[in-house]
Chain A
Amino acid sequence: MKYSYPDQEGHFGQFGGVYMAETLIPAVEELRDQYLRFRDDPEFKAEFEYELKHYVGRPSPIYHAKRLSDELGGAQIYLKREDLNHTGAHKINNAIGQALLAKRMGKKRVIAETGAGMHGVATATVAARFGMECIVYMGAEDIQRQAPNVFRMKLLGATVVPVESGSRTLKDACNEAIRDWVTNVESTFYIFGTAAGPHPYPMMVRDFQCVIGDEAKVQMPEMIGRQPDAVIACVGGGSNAIGLFHPYIDVPEVQIIGVEAGGHGIASGQHAAPLTANSKVGVLHGNKVYLIQDENGQIIETHSISAGLDYPGVGPEHCLLKDIGRAQYVAINDDEALAAFDALCRFEGIIPALESSHALAHAMKIAPGMAKDKVLLVNLSGRGDKDMNTVANIKGITL
C-alpha cells in the first residue's frame, strides 16, 4: 500500500485530527479549504519558489563534515545546511508559505508562538516582508534563554508578548496564541511553527518543509552518487524532521531517525521525548498525539536545554511513522547535545543551534560503529547564534 497521509479529516492513522473549540472550527476549516485550493495553484507555487530562491537563499547546500567524520573514524557525516537560510533556520520555509497564504486570504494580522525564537523571527521577518502586523507569543523562560532572538523580533517590528502561565515555555506560548486567535479570529492568520496542531497544519507545514528533503534527494546523488544510508533530524514538534523525512519515506533503503530531547535522561523524567519515552496518546493543541502527561491526563512540564525542543507533544505524522516502524526515534541528553555543539564548532567551524546539535550528537554516537563508506545525512536545522547566552552560562562565562 502506498503511504498517503493524512486522510480528508486530517488523520494520520489514529493521530492528528481537529480538536479545537467551536469558535475556531470555522477558521480551521477555511484555512484547510484555502490551502487545498492554493497548494497546487501554479501561481502560488511559483511565488513560493521565487521567495525560497531569492529571499531565503535556497537551495541550501549539503556539506561533508570530513574532519569531524575522520575524527570519529566511521560513517561519513553530511550536513543539510538549513542554518544558512535567511534568518538562520528551516523555520522560514514554512513562514513564507503561510504568509503567502495569509496574503491571499486577505489577513493583515499574523500571530505566532515561538520557543527558541527562530519561528518567531521567521514570522516577524515575513510579516515585515509582506507588510503585516505581527504578534509573537513566547514563554517568559524562553525570553530569558533566547534574548538575542527577542531583540531581533522587535527590530523587525513585531510585538513580543511574554507568557507567564504554566511552565512559561513553548506549550504555554501555544495556549496564548490560540487564545488570541479565538478572540481575533476574523482578522488574524495564525502562522503555526511546527508540523503539529489541528488539520491542516501538520500537512501544510510538512508540505512547505519538504523542500529540504526534495533538495537533498537531488543533491546527494550529485555528491556521492547515491542516497544516504540514513537521514537524521531533531524532533521538537517535528517540522524540520518531517521536511527531510517525508520525501524519503518511499525509499526503503534509507533509514529514518528522529532525535528527541532527552534532557537530563529519560529515566529522570525531565525530558521532552514523548516518542522515546513511550508516552501515552493524548490530545493537546488541536491534535491527538503521543503526549507527556501524568496518569490523570495533565500535561507534565518538560525539560530540554534547547527551547525549541522543549515541548510535551510531537506532530501526528511522527507518531504514525513510529507506529508503522518506518522511522526510529531516539533521545539525546543535554550534555551529549552540548558535546556535539562543541565538536562542530571546533572541527568544522560551524556553530549549530542546540536543537540541531541533538541530531548531530546521535550521528556522532552511531558513526564510529559504522563502516567508513556509510553516509549519514544530518539536518542542520539552524545556527547557534541565538544560543550564545545559554552555552556561555553553562560554561560559567558571563557575556
Chain B
Amino acid sequence: MSRIDTTFENLKQQNRKALIPFITAGDPAQALTVPLMHGLVKAGADVLELGVPFSDPMADGPTIQRASERALKNGMSLRGVLDLVAEFRKQDTTTPVVLMGYGNPIEAMGWEAFAKRCAEVGVDGALTVDFPPEESHEAFEHLQAHGIAPIFLLAPTTKEARIEQVAKLARGYVYYVSLKGVTGAGNLDLSAIEEKLPQLRKHIKLPIGVGFGIRDAATAKAVAKLCDGVVVGSRIVQEIENSTEQNVVANVGRLVQELRVAIDN
C-alpha cells in the first residue's frame, strides 16, 4: 500500500480526519523548508502538500503569489524541491508528500524524468493545477509507471460527468476546492460543501480532502466533519510571511497544533 493510502486507512480506523498543510518550498528560505516539514509533522500534520513555485501562479491569491516570488528569488526550482524531499525522507519515511504546482516546470523537466525522480526521492503524489485530465495522458502514463498518485482538483462548478471521469483516474485522494476563487479567498460556504459532497461520494471512493478558504480552527473543525481531510494553505503561508527565520518553525507549529486540536475534538 502507498504511504497516502496507509495514512488515510490508519486515520479511518482511528475515526480521525487528515490535516493537510501546504507550504511553498523555498519560502522563507531553502534551508528552512525541511525543518518546517518536520515541524508540521510534529504538530500533527498527516500529509504534506509542498508547493513548487511558479512565475505565473494563476490560481493563487496574493499570499501564495508572494510566497512563490520569495521562493523563486531564493533560487528554488523543481529539481531543488525534489532534492529537499530527499533530505526530508532521511528522517521521515512515513508521512506522505504531495507536490502541488503548475505544469510548466514539469513540462520543462520532462514527465518521465520527473516521475522517476519523484519515486527516487519519495514523493507520493503530484497535483498540477492547470493540467485537467484531458491534457494529462502523457503525465499519467509516467506517474503511474513510477507509482506516483495523480491528485485531482474538483470544484463547485464541476459537473457530474467529470466527477465520474476524475474518479477513474485519481489515486491517493481527491482535493475538493471549496469555493469559486483563488487560494486564500475568504468566502467559503459550508452549506454548499455539504450539498456537493454526496454527489462526489457517489463516484469517488478515495478519501476527499477539502481546501481553499480554510483560515481558522473553527472552520477547519466544521469542514473536517464533512470530509476526510482538511487542506490549509494561505493561512499557514501567511504565518510564515509574518514570522522571522528564527521563530517561523515554532510559529507554524503552534498554528498547526491548534488546527489539529480543533479537528480532533
Residues of A bordering B, CB below 8 Å: 9, 17-27, 165-166, 171-172, 174-175, 178-179, 182-186, 280-286, 288, 291, 293, 295-299
Contact = CB atoms under 8 A, between A and B. Distances in A.
Interface string B169-190: 0000000010011100100000
B157 A19 contact: no
B88 interface: no
Contacts of A18: 132, 134-135
A9 B54 CA distance: 26
A299 B58 CA distance: 13
A387 to B, nearest CB: 27
A297 B156 contact: no
A285 B59 CA distance: 11
Interface in B195-213: none
Contacts of A280: 108
18 contacts: A19-B103, A20-B130, A22-B132, A23-B156, A25-B157, A165-B69, A174-B58, A175-B58, A178-B58, A283-B104, A285-B56, A286-B130, A291-B104, A296-B78, A297-B104, A297-B108, A298-B104, A299-B55
Contacts of B177: 22-23
A20 B61 CA distance: 16
Contacts of B126: none
Contact of B182 (A26, A183, A282, A293): A183
A154 B31 CA distance: 47
B56 A9 contact: no
B152 to A, nearest CB: 7
Given A21-B155, A165-B69, A296-B109, 19 more contacts: A18-B134, A21-B59, A22-B153, A23-B177, A25-B155, A26-B157, A26-B162, A171-B56, A175-B58, A185-B157, A186-B180, A282-B108, A283-B103, A284-B56, A286-B130, A296-B108, A297-B54, A297-B104, A298-B105
A357 B144 CA distance: 50
Interface of B: 54-59, 61, 65, 69, 72, 77-79, 102-109, 129-132, 134-135, 152-159, 162, 177, 180-182, 185
Contacts of A185: 157, 180
A288 B77 CA distance: 21
Most chain-B CB neighbours within 10 Å: which of A17, A21, A280?
A21
Nearest to B105: A297
Nearest to B109: A297
Contacts of A295: 108
B56 A296 contact: no
Contacts of A293: 104, 108
Contacts of A285: 56, 58
A183 B78 CA distance: 28
Contacts of A9: 134
Contact of A297 (B78, B155, B162): B78
Contacts of A17: 134-135
A284 B135 contact: no
B53 to A, nearest CB: 8
Contacts of B153: 21-23
A20 B132 contact: yes
B77 A296 contact: yes
Given A22-B153, A25-B132, A26-B159, A282 B104 contact: yes
Contacts of B109: 296-297
B27 to A, nearest CB: 15
A284 B104 contact: yes
Given A22-B177, A185-B180, A297 B134 contact: no
Given A281-B107, A283-B103, A22 B56 contact: no
B58 A297 contact: no
B90 to A, nearest CB: 24
A288 B137 CA distance: 14
Contacts of B162: 25-26
A171 B177 CA distance: 25
A29 to B, nearest CB: 9
Contacts of A282: 104, 107-108
Given A21-B129, A283-B130, A295-B108, A166 B55 contact: yes
Q: Which of A175, A288, A295 has the most CB of B within 10 A?
A: A175
B55 to A, nearest CB: 4
Given A19-B130, A22-B158, A23-B155, A299 B104 contact: yes
Nearest to B136: A19
Contacts of A166: 55-56
Contacts of B61: 179
A232 B40 CA distance: 58
B63 to A, nearest CB: 12
Contacts of A281: 107
